[in-house]
Amino acid sequence: MRLGRRAFLGAGAAATVVAAGYLRQRPADAQFGLRRGPVVNLYTSRHYDTDDQLYTGFREATGIRVNVVEAEADQLIERIKSEGQNSPADILMTVDAGRLWRAEQEDIFQPVTSSVLTTAIPANLRQSDGLWFGLTKRARVIMYNKDAVDPSELSTYEDLIDPKWQGRILTRSSTNIYSQSLVGSIIAAHGADDTEDWARGLVANFAREPQGGDTDQIKAVAAGLGDIAISNTYYLARLAKSDKAEDRAIAEQIGVFFPNQDDRGTHINISGAGVVKTAPNADAAVRFLEYLASPEAQEIFAQSNNEYPVVEGVAVDSVVAGFGEFKADPLSAAVFGSNNPEALRITDRAGWK
């Protein structure tokens, strides 16, 4: 481990590196790298304030402070590349296996050997050489308007191209990483040619041109702009737990269906992280990843951000539990993540904008 301390880029340089993209450096840590004491420097595309509980818990458990820079994953990858050997980044954390794969291809990560991580995290949710590790799971499901759809009509992702769904499906753009990873899982199951046929059929059944995020799709279904949406479960849980009565009313209108329960199971994506190759605080970084795989931290992920834990035996949030139990697709995140580029080419040709 390198013991020298390195200062982060100044505000002007940081803005240049991310090409004027959004970047948030926590105010309390504006001088991180310059303060005394053990630290781990985290570059993260997770934009959830609830993650502050994780940073506090780690500091209380180890005495190691977590310094945080937030931006989009691609911006953070470019920043680390631009900083080179002088990068202060210890950990890159992202919200999708596709972006972890991109960072791996850019040689961002170093291999980590940790029995704590390999014991706690299933093999299909981590990179085989220890370059990155899944820390939470996200189920990408079919959500439906309870007044417009009988759940007995639903079955698989593949069935969404049936003509009965013409003009009824809402989803995000194909440029969204969640869409690409779902298509990447279809590629793994059926091959590229059949997946392109499926994508064309799905586009033919769109209720409107893709726009907005998962919450927008859910609200559109509730408003009658479409009957079903493809979405991650935690977005619906947020609405159900909202302080706003109108959000809770929307959630009441929506049902959750877990596709492909009679074959491979529902597509599962991950949020995950790896230790940066040039990490100045590599030992502290590994300790932080191990902490995030602890039952304590996994419970925070589950209860605070409505994600599914990767560690067996940790309870899910009660609202999420109310969606029901399901069979998850065991496909390796490394496989569907690596299929993202082909998925984007396929969806482009299929007219999925």
* Residue whose C-alpha is closest to residue 216's, from 199, 239, 248: 239
The answer to whether residues 71 and 77 touch, using CB atoms and an 8 Å cutoff, is no
Closest CA to 71 of 15, 149, 142: 15
Burial bucket for residue 342 (CB in 10 Å: 0-12, 13-18, 19+): middle
**Which residues in 10-25 are b (16+ Cβ under 10 Å) and which e?**
eeeebeebbeeeebeb
Determine phi and psi for 270, rounding to 5 degrees.
Answer: -135, 155
* CA–CA dist 191, 159 (Å, integer): 17
Alpha-carbon gap, residue 207 to 223, rounded angstroms:
12
Q: Specify whether the backbone of 324 is left (phi greater than 0), alpha (psi in -120 to 50) or beta.
A: left
d(Cα 221, Cα 144) in Å, to the nearest integer? 7
> Does 47 count as an annotated binding residue?
yes
The burial of 347, by beta-carbon neighbours within 10 Å (0-12 exposed, 13-18 middle, 19 or more buried), is given as buried
**Annotated binding-site residue numbers for Fe cation:** 47, 234-235
**Annotated binding-site residue numbers:** 47, 234-235
